[in-house]
Structure 1
Amino acid sequence: MKESTMPPTAYLAATGAALPGEPVGNRELGAALGVSDEWIDVFVGTRTRHFTRDLATGEIRGSLADLCAEAGGAALAESGLEAADIDFLVLATATPDRLLPTTAAEVADRLGLDHLPAYQLQSGCSGALQAVEFGRALLGAGAGAGLVLGGDVTHRHLELKPGASRLPTRELVNYVLFGDGAGAAVLTAEPAGHRVAVRGTVHALTGLGREPGQVVDWYGVGDRHSTRPMLAEDYKAIEEQVPLMAAEALWDLLGLVDWAPEEIAFLLPPQLSRRMTERVMERLPLPGAREVSCVTETGNTGNALPFCQLDRLLGQMGEGDRALALAVESSKWIKAGLALEKV
């Protein structure tokens, strides 16, 4: 097995995840939207997801800060570290609770983290891996341990009610793709806990001059009555581009750390939906790698999803096992990835 020429500056010591409420199946979601559960299954392949909004009453049962604090607390508990041991917090999200205070600052407060930098990355699906990349840089600059998180909630952007089936497809698709959730990982400068080294990271914006594949909007006082859709996707463009970009990220990672495809034991693919994951896996030349996915049960939880995959991965890795985690963000076409090794 080849030795990486890039020494790690970060280790995944522990992870945590949080999903709100009971899982919502396709039949229940279809009834709320006025579409058939068969259509949801055929179109996206997701079976269940979780929402902070109660479908029956419309009650909002939690916030992004609630979910991130739960996931972060679970990761800290598993790591065995105390709040005083954490030198920074990084949170990635496309759907913060408010513009200010940042959700990152709210989560730090709830976890008893004080007198430390708390960063918030405004990003889509690639944000979770960007958070790890940023945390790795902070550890390389002298920090000892940090907490990185990712999460998203949909209740502000998706109004779940009968009649949604009459929406344009580029808006309706979001109602069946997404779910709410949060995930977290404790990064350390020295091997600890699960002792999974971050050997390399890939992160590149590739959307120069291209139309975005996804738009998440927000309204202020001056335009709150706008008819612009809060959330829209060019699903056809995403179907075409995400598998290609995932393959590019895969080869970028393998070249960066000088690993051969047959040396990869686990693959964490991009997770827009189960159907999309199937298309992505067809293009990735890693027949010997075990797929680590969760989107079928969780829905697309945005920045939470890679952390949920990592949460499933760490307990499966044995000494010397190597894994690749990939993410593609369609908003402005961003590819990202992590190369991981159990030491």
Structure 2
Amino acid sequence: MEASDVHILSAGTALPGDPLDNAGLARHFGMDPVWEQWVDAFVGTRARHLSVDLATGKLRSSLADLSTEAAARALDAAGLGPGDVDLLVLGTATPDQLMPATVNLVADRLGINGVPTYQLQSGCAGAFQALEVGRKLLLAGEERTALVIGGELCSRHFDPDVDLAKLDSAELVNFVLFGDGAGAAVLSTEPAPGTPVIRRVLNRLTGLDRAPGQIVEWTGALDRDATDRAYIKEDYKAIEQSVPVMSREIAEELLGDLGWEPTDVDYLLPPQLSGRMTQRIVESLGMPTAEEVSLVDRIANTGNAMPFFQLERTLPQLAEGDRVLGVSVESSKWLKAGFVLEVV
């Protein structure tokens, strides 16, 4: 028997280590204090959490570590255990290894077995893709409960010994924008009081004939010592131009599908690229009555983890009739993503 609605019962998150502020980042990389002031003024991201210990170059936590912690917190908040999970979905751009899939390592650590598992390779849209896969499988099948996870280990791709002063802007900006983290949500076809229904999820590729806005390279035995390319780079100017426009398009489409006006939105979960960029996006969306839920200035851009941090902050505040709009843009090949929730 097919279900009619899928509810988000809970969310949980995890961050590695202590926050690293811009002053600490500047000290480690030997950057001038003016650089720190530039980050504060023009990027607007004050701190981030990194799995890599910059002093030693050692990895303190893996994506599986963070995802397991976040998932356990989400299950606990829902009053459920590993035995209640019918399917598991993970969205990430930075899995721990090619094989085994990180989602299966997480399942093993949680004690989950005998259920379908899925891992989706994507940037900031991956969390929305994971939500949509979990939602559609619950609507179509006999499963009742899905555990959906998103997370990133961006710092794995940074060289803690690099001379930042010698990097071009496409490489340098990544050291400022990104942090590590993981988040999870429990989806269910069985409603609980005060939990929102997922009304819509949008996932759409729009990058035909467009150059990528961000590239993160794999490294293998044949190319890990290559010196003719950067392993992570970002076209920040293209992102500045495109993301606010795409965000408006996402909001207009999702609200239009439901016949809602911008003033019908009670909580806005905007893209979390950087503190300053998020401000621009929120202003362009024109939803003055919606409460903005943003954390990027405190934990930086955590990619696929971020929507779960926003949900964790929002879910306890929701009351009957409240409506939530989440928006994200993935610049790697220009993907639109979003969701709409409503408490009924």
- Shift of residue 54 of structure 1? 1.3
Letter in 2 for 1:185: A
State the match for 1:132 in structure 2. 131
| CA–CA separation in structure 2 for the residues paired with 1:153 and 1:95 | 6
Equivalent of 2:22 in 12, 20, 26: 26
CA distance, structure 2, for counterparts of residue 320 and residue 72 of structure 1: 27
Residue-by-residue CA offset, 1:131-190 (whole Å, 9 max, x unaligned): 111111011012200100000012321112351221011000000000000000000012
- Establish whether residue 188 from structure 1 lines up as the match of residue 188 from structure 2: yes
- Structure 2 counterpart of 1:100: 99
Q: Which residue is equivalent to 1:10?
A: 6
What is the one-letter code of the residue matched to 1:122? Answer: Q
Which residue does 1:334 correspond to in 2?
335
Deviation at 1:308, TM superposition (A): 0.6
CA distance in 1 between counterparts of 2:134 and 2:58 reads 35
Equivalent pairs, count? 337
CA contact (8 A) 1:14 1:193 kept: no
CA RMSD of aligned residues (A): 1.2
Alpha-carbon distance change, 78 to 57 in structure 1, aligned in 2, over 3 angstroms: same
TM-score normalised over the length of structure 2: 0.96
**Do the aligned partners of residues 42 and 145 (structure 1) sit closer, same or farther apart at CA in structure 2, a change above 3 Å counting?**
same
- 1:310 maps to what in 2? 311
Letter in 2 for 1:104: V
Q: Following TM superposition, by how much is the alpha carbon of 1:248 offset from its aligned partner in structure 2, in angstroms?
A: 0.3
Question: For the structure 1 residues 194 and 64, does the alpha-carbon distance in structure 2 shift closer, same or farther, using more than 3 Å as the test?
Answer: farther
3-state SS of 1:90 partner: strand
Deviation at 1:272, TM superposition (A): 0.5
Please tell me whether the aligned partners of residues 92 and 303 of structure 1 are also in contact (alpha carbons under 8 angstroms): yes
3-state SS of 1:198 partner: strand
Amino acid at match of 1:273: S
TM-score by length of 1: 0.96
Query: Where does the alignment leave 5 or more consecutive residues of structure 2 unmatched?
Result: none
Does residue 161 in structure 1 map to residue 157 in structure 2? no
1:166-177 correspondence runs (5 A) = 166-177=166-177
Deviation of the 1:342 alpha carbon: 1.5
Alignment pair present for 1:222 and 2:218 = no
Shift of 1:193: 6.3
In structure 2, give the amino acid aligned to 1:103: T
Shift of 1:8: 5.6
Superposition deviation, residue 37 in structure 1:
1.5
Alignment partner, residue 259 of structure 1? 260
Offset from partner CA, 1:184-210 (integer Å, 9 cap, x none): 000001212651110111111100000
Report the 3-state secondary structure (helix = DSSP H, G, I; strand = E; otherwise coil) of the residue aligned with 2:58: coil
- For residues 59 and 4 of structure 2, the distance between their equivalents in structure 1, rounded to whole angstroms, comes to 42
What's the % identity of the aligned pairs?
53
Cα separation, 1, equivalents of 2:295 and 2:129: 20
The residue aligned with 2:291 is: 290
Q: Give 3-state SS (helix, strand or coil) of 2:203's partner.
A: strand
Whether 2:194 is the aligned partner of 1:198: answer: no
| Counterparts of residues 111-130 of structure 1 (less than 5 Å) | 111-130=110-129
SS of structure 1 residue aligned to 2:156: coil
